[in-house]
Chains A and B, each alone.
Chain A
């Protein structure tokens, strides 16, 4: 069959909501887009362990410490499923990790911001996981089967994290004046970067049209961002806190909140590597990998020795 016919059949499957599976024929660009997106998502989970990991040893109560440790561990687990999902498309985990370390592969820019106070841990749960969920709920129905199935499980855990984050801020919001100030300060610092997580405006987004046609994505960046603003603008009232945007206002006609302009210069700067923590995050990942090299080598050497011994015993 000519490639054109394959492509047509492929699109028909997509249109009929049939999931694409690893051994199915798929256009090269579909494969590449999925590898790029899934591996980027996996890297985000792994790099995302670092800003939160920054507070594990300093969590203010044993209960909070247990919640945070379990949360960061969940992220490692998400990274693991996602690397496995991406591997079904023909790229090894090692290759993906090398691309992360060389700077070729990206990860979510949000993790290039520092966690300065304990309240940042709550703010990340509420705002960053909240923004991620908007995207991820949509991805549960993405057209590539292994990715969609990984997302179903990830979404359940992420919504739990978001509730935990909110609850942790709720306690601060009812606490001492210092705790309230800490809570508002964290919201002020994380709000705009969280909005940036949805990516460039639809008018500026290069990958969007094809991804929508292939149902890798099902909602546009601007739509998801609007849904997020609408949700958070209500939730922040429960905390008795405010969002740092004077333009934020309910629009009765649109039935949505209007909000101010994102600082796109900052957005592109962080993407290009100039965020407050880009260097530290990548350095921490490279260092962990480098320091672990002898461990991985020893495990392989030992496994080889064991196999050799078993062979000799059997002979």
Chain B
């Protein structure tokens, strides 16, 4: 496969996991209950670990760069993460739903990447999948709890669905470089729909239909949120260039 496409694909996976990790890490110390603060931080750490593996592999293919240069010195227009990942935390319900929608997708995607003909990509997917299986379990249990909990929690979940659903179409709308994944996105979407529907049913939540879908993250056209995330994330590297930390 052409290397540039592979590099772009790896950066897409790295950026998505890094940005979602960043968002989750904003909760650290502020969670609704200590055990769940720990659980979400754990997920943030898993995603950060995954992003590092993708960046390191991309850096190896690119040569003359490293994980930190890729994460800290690329701009908003160069970042290729999913729009879903950069959406604000909102309340706990919105954070949970964002995690579930993404993890459910990541699980199905990585289940296919584990048989990819690129050994390294295959190894990273295999390692990550164990973590992702837990993320799916944890977040889907919370979606059910909150959807089927109190009137207030249900209202909040409905609001979260309104906020986040428009960013789910992009998951299955492949950018040109995603051809290297060698994945059938149509059947991936069908399977994702099926699983999400089951969880939403148990949570007594409706699955939206015929909603306009936003896109652009994969090719660097983001929501306004990403600029602030990068300002935060990249602050020290930008303020003190060429320093070792």
The chain A residues found within 8 Å of chain B, CB to CB, are: 46, 49-50, 53, 56-66, 69-70, 72-73, 76-77, 79-80, 83, 118, 168, 171-172, 175-176, 178-179, 284, 287-289, 291-299, 301-303, 305
Contact = CB atoms under 8 A, between A and B. Distances in A.
Interface string B23-34: 001101111111
A79 B32 CA distance: 15
Contacts of A172: 245
Interface in B22-73: 22, 25-26, 28-38, 41-42, 44-45, 48-49, 51-52, 55, 67-68, 71-72
B92 interface: yes
A117 to B, nearest CB: 9
B41 A298 contact: no
B52 A66 contact: yes
Contacts of A65: 25, 48
Given A73-B38, A292-B92, A298-B153, A284 B44 contact: no
Contact of A62 (B37, B48, B145): B48
Nearest to B55: A62
B152 interface: yes
A292 B91 CA distance: 9
Given A56-B25, A301-B149, 12 more contacts: A46-B29, A58-B236, A62-B18, A62-B55, A62-B67, A69-B44, A73-B45, A175-B243, A291-B91, A297-B153, A298-B152, A302-B149
Contact of A73 (B41, B150, B240): B41
B38 A292 contact: no
B236 A118 contact: yes
Enumerate the 9 nearest inter-chain pairs by beta-carbon distance, A residue then B residue, closest first: A292-B32, A298-B149, A298-B153, A49-B29, A60-B236, A60-B245, A295-B32, A53-B29, A302-B145
Nearest to B45: A69
Contacts, number: 140
Nearest to B146: A298
Nearest to A50: B29
B198 interface: no
Contact of A61 (B30, B41, B68, B146): B68
A39 B37 CA distance: 19
Interface residues of B, number: 50
Contacts of A80: 34-35, 38
A171 B41 contact: no
Contact of B30 (A63, A70, A284): A284
25 contacts: A56-B28, A57-B233, A58-B232, A58-B235, A60-B236, A61-B245, A62-B67, A66-B52, A69-B41, A118-B245, A178-B240, A179-B240, A289-B32, A291-B92, A292-B33, A294-B150, A295-B32, A295-B146, A297-B152, A298-B146, A298-B149, A298-B150, A301-B149, A301-B150, A305-B148
Contacts of B91: 291
A133 B41 CA distance: 24
Contacts of B92: 291-292, 295
Interface of B is mostly: helix
B142 to A, nearest CB: 8
Nearest to A46: B34
A64 B45 CA distance: 12
A64 B71 CA distance: 13
Given A49-B28, A294-B156, A76 B34 contact: yes
Given A73-B41, A294-B153, A298-B152, A58 B33 contact: no
B244 interface: yes
A293 B34 CA distance: 13
Q: Which of A56, A62, A176 has the most CB of B within 10 A?
A: A62
A273 to B, nearest CB: 20
A200 B142 CA distance: 46
A286 to B, nearest CB: 11
A56 B153 CA distance: 29
Contacts of B35: 80
Contacts of A73: 28, 38, 41-42, 45
B183 interface: no
Nearest to B237: A60
Given A62-B68, A288-B30, A57 B22 contact: yes
B144 to A, nearest CB: 7
A178 to B, nearest CB: 6
B235 A69 contact: no
Contacts of A302: 144-146, 148-149
